[in-house]
């Protein structure tokens, strides 16, 4: 795995930005959580916009947008490098100007109403797939959209939706049983003004703000369909595999690297019973185990990103990457907290925050069990060959 000189420059620039502009918010967010008696509300809208404008000033805006929309149109490997650096902090921050990939399927009218305003930060979207009764089994969703005259009537409930309680419109996936195959699922663009309601969901950790969304006879016009009827999953799965392979997993690499660095620094300075922790074999070996897991995780992420960049099918790699990296990140957080002892368990510690935040990585965007089932199915059906990870 060799980075180009441009990729190295991008990595170094983003790392400096994160260290100088984003990390200073860590004690601020921790203090808000302690004083508020619950999960941190994260950055305010004003703080996020301020950081994103600072990012824009150094050329980081729309990093995954096509050039036609004013974006940088960066390749998957470079995106993975950027998200790894963004993952080095507990502050939930992403550069501005990005949108959910499904929105690139908007028709011209929808682009004006949804895509362009979202790119410009004027609108906020959520992607509503998961339901209380189906979880990772997206094909088991029960939310329906029934055609009635010049409208679709939507009924159902979505949960665990990122920005579900704050977004002003939802990219909604619903079953359209009267439009052909009963298993057909269609994607809709639904404005909050159409009448859906939502509520926040409190979580153990996670930097994402999630909520539940309720649809009770919500009417949207016929042209609210994104793409084609009964072809909704064509918009959902690329987004999910992208997250599994080189976006969410890449962020976990950054978290792992920083926690290892913190464990090394603490082991060098902490003296127990007359010896530095770094001189104690059990502590040194624990850190070495973390290093092995980080290196293996990084290779998996870059393998998935390289396959995506080459236009190859990387779904199998994405599933393997998601499982391994999520588990490795949790293992590193556990060891780093143990090495720090009571200090790592204190609310003031970013490791304590990561210990809670990273647990959800093994659940959302495809649980360990869902990804393992996909891997096994691919192997038994001959869709993938054991260990065939090279582009």
Enumerate the β-bridge partners of residue 190: 170
Chain region(s) in the chain for CATH 1.20.140.10: 234-380
The per-residue pLDDT of the chain, averaged, comes to 93
N- to C-terminal Cα distance for the chain? 12
The answer to whether 61 and 55 have CB atoms below 8 angstroms apart is: yes
Q: What's the pLDDT score for residue 125?
A: 95
Label the pairing between strands 185-191 and 169-175: antiparallel
In this predicted structure, the answer to whether residue 391 has a pLDDT above a threshold of 80 is no
Chain region(s) in the chain for CATH 1.10.540.10: 5-98
| Homologous superfamily of domain range 234-380 | Butyryl-CoA Dehydrogenase, subunit A, domain 3 (1.20.140.10)
Q: Where are the beta strands (DSSP E) in the chain?
A: 125-128, 144-148, 151-162, 169-175, 185-191, 197-200, 210-221, 271-272, 275-276
> What is the C-alpha separation between 265 and 107, in angstroms, rounded?
53
Chain region(s) in the chain for CATH 2.40.110.10: 125-231
Instruction: Give the tens place of pLDDT for each residue, 139-187.
Output: 789 999 999 999 999 999 999 999 999 999 999 999 999 887 767 899 9
From residue 96, alpha-carbon distances to 48, 49, 346 in Å are 9, 8, 32
| Homologous superfamily of domain range 5-98 | Acyl-CoA dehydrogenase/oxidase, N-terminal domain (1.10.540.10)
The answer to whether 131 and 157 have CB atoms below 8 angstroms apart is: yes
348-370 mean pLDDT: 94
In this predicted structure, the answer to whether residue 44 has a pLDDT above a threshold of 80 is yes
Tokens 């980081």: give the residue: 60
Q: Give the number of other Cβ atoms within 10 Å of residue 26's Cβ.
A: 15
Q: What's the pLDDT score for residue 40?
A: 64
Instruction: Give the tens place of pLDDT for each residue, 310-343.
Output: 999 999 999 999 999 999 999 999 999 999 999 9
Tokens 């690329």: give the residue: 238
The answer to whether 143 and 196 have CB atoms below 8 angstroms apart is: no
Q: What's the pLDDT score for residue 202?
A: 87
Q: How confident is the model at residue 204 (pLDDT cuts 50, 70, 90)?
A: confident
In this predicted structure, the answer to whether residue 266 has a pLDDT above a threshold of 70 is yes
Tokens 């009218």: give the residue: 109
> What is the C-alpha separation between 50 and 377, in angstroms, rounded?
46
Find, among 26, 341, 23, 33, the residue nearest to 203 by Cα.
Answer: 33
Q: How confident is the model at residue 45 (pLDDT cuts 50, 70, 90)?
A: confident
Instruction: Give the tens place of pLDDT for each residue, 229-260.
Output: 999 888 888 889 999 999 999 999 999 999 99
188-202 mean pLDDT: 95
Fold of 125-231: Butyryl-CoA Dehydrogenase, subunit A; domain 2 (2.40.110)
């Amino acid at each position: 795995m060799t980075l180009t000189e441009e990729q190295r420059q991008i990595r170094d620039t983003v790392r400096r930005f994160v260290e100088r502009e984003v990390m200073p918010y860590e004690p601020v967010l921790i203090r808000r959580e302690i004083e508020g008696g619950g999960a941190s509300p994260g950055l305010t809208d004003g703080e996020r916009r301020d950081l994103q404008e600072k990012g824009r000033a150094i050329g980081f805006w729309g990093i995954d947008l096509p050039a036609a929309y004013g974006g940088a149109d960066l390749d998957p490997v470079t995106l993975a490098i950027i998200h790894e650096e963004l993952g080095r902090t507990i502050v939930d921050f992403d550069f501005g100007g990005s949108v959910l990939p499904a929105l690139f399927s908007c028709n011209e009218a929808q682009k004006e109403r949804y895509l362009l305003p979202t790119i410009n930060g004027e609108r906020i979207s959520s992607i509503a797939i998961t339901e209380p009764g189906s979880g990772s089994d997206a094909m088991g969703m029960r939310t329906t959209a029934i055609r009635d005259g010049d409208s679709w009537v939507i009924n159902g409930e979505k949960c665990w939706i990122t920005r579900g309680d704050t977004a002003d419109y939802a990219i909604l996936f619903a079953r359209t049983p009267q439009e052909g195959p009963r298993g057909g699922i269609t994607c809709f663009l639904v404005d909050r003004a159409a009448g859906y309601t939502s509520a926040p969901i409190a979580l153990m950790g996670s930097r994402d703000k999630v909520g539940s969304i309720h649809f009770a006879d919500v009417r949207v016009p016929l042209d609210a369909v994104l793409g084609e009827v009964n072809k909704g999953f064509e918009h959902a799965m690329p987004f999910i595999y992208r997250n599994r392979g080189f976006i969410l997993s890449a962020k976990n690499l950054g978290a792992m690297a920083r926690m290892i660095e913190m464990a090394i620094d603490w082991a060098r300075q902490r003296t127990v019973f007359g010896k530095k922790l770094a001189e104690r074999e059990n502590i040194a070996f624990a850190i070495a185990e973390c290093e092995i897991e980080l290196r293996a995780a990084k290779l998996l992420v870059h393998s998935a990103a390289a396959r995506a960049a080459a236009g190859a099918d990387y779904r199998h790699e994405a599933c393997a990457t998601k499982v391994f990296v999520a588990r490795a990140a949790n293992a590193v957080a556990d060891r780093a907290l143990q090495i720090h002892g009571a200090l790592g368990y204190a609310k003031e510690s970013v490791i304590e925050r990561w210990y809670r935040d990273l647990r959800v990585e093994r659940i959302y965007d495809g649980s360990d069990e869902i990804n393992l089932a996909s891997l096994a199915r691919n192997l038994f059906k001959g869709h993938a060959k054991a260990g065939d990870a090279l582009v």
